[in-house]
Amino acid sequence: MCEREWIISPACASLSPTAIRLPGQIEKVTAVTDATTMEYELLRINGGRREHAATIARVLRDAEIIDGYIYKRAAKIQISVRPESFLSHNRSDEVKESAALTCSLNDSMYFGHWVTDGIPLLMAGRVLAPPIRNSEPLTQHQQQYLSILDLSYDGFTNGTVRELIILEDYSQNRYKRERYEIIRARFLQSGSGFTHPGAMILRGGSGTTPRYLMNEKQIADYLQSIGYKVVDQERQSAGEIIEAISGARVIVGIEGSQLAHGLYSIADTGTLLVLQPPYLFTNVHKDYMDCLDLNYAFVVGDACEGGFRISMDDLKMTLDLIAAKQS
């Protein structure tokens, strides 16, 4: 139904390194998340040639936006977590000549995807037309990040758009890396500018999918004792988080959205060490680290009552592997 389309950035390929991990970690995995398969996760962590799709722009004429849904004749695109309203209470007669859609269902559901996908999408869309999103309120961290990056959305959320530009921009291609690097430069300017041993980003009970690390405090205390900073993303502002993480050689944390806080502030030769629940194994952050030529490591925990635990011996030995890689 699109009137026209064009390629903003062509498809490309890259060589992905093997994830840093101890022997026997894969054997501890009992299940992956619903959004992936074990075969795909093995492809991620084992490295090799990876194909990256093009970034494509398409123009949809006379698209109607109502309550987080885009309608064009019999088709619809969901861009909000809210259920569809069949009564169309918020239907608007407002007409906008052109706009770029700079949100998706994924980045509306998950803070991590907003950081890694939503911000770059906003950067790409605003070059083409006024950038619009759904009407869901932004969190304090999202508002603070936009302020730091001097970015904003157009206020249009309901009505008809004569020319709506929709970007296909999910891939980790060269254009995505260019935008990551622009964001990283701004974040690193906001920090101290000095490298330090590392930081642990606490997850606690936050996140859409619970991942309770029963010995999270024990790990945080140990890391703090060897010079790491501990970041409580539920209590600290975006500026405080950037300041604490900026220049970290290693970032440690439970797999989940809160790890996205570290992508733009980690040191240029840094490593992300992900603490994995054995029953929710996923390595989506490896894609982002690969795109920036940064390192990725993981430790798989053991299921226990209430959640999972990470072996302190496994943690320490993996940190030794990381240190050897960085030396």
Strand-pair category, 131-132 with 4-9: unpaired
List the beta bridge partners of residue 200: 230, 252
> What span, in angstroms and rounded, lies between the C-alpha atoms of 151 and 320?
40
Against a cut of 0.85, is the pTM above it? yes
Beta strands in the chain (DSSP E): 4-9, 12-16, 48-52, 55-66, 69-72, 75-78, 95-101, 131-132, 159-168, 196-202, 229-232, 248-254, 271-276, 295-300, 302-304, 307-309
Task: Given CATH 3.30.460, say whether it is the number of domain 14-52+190-326.
Answer: no
Main-chain phi, psi angles of 99, to 5 degrees: -160, 155
What's the sign of the alpha-carbon dihedral 65, 68, 72, 73? negative
Question: Over the stretch 142-187, which tens digit does the pLDDT of each residue have?
Answer: 999 999 999 999 999 999 999 999 999 999 999 999 999 999 999 8
Question: Over the stretch 8-56, which tens digit does the pLDDT of each residue have?
Answer: 999 999 999 999 999 999 999 999 999 999 999 999 999 999 999 999 9
Per-10-residue mean pLDDT of the chain, 327 residues long, equals 96 97 98 96 97 98 93 91 73 92 93 96 98 94 96 95 97 98 89 86 78 95 97 94 94 96 94 98 97 98 96 98 90
Q: Radius of gyration over alpha carbons of the chain, in Å?
A: 21
> What span, in angstroms and rounded, lies between the C-alpha atoms of 104 and 159?
18
Domain edges within the chain? 14-52+190-326, 55-170
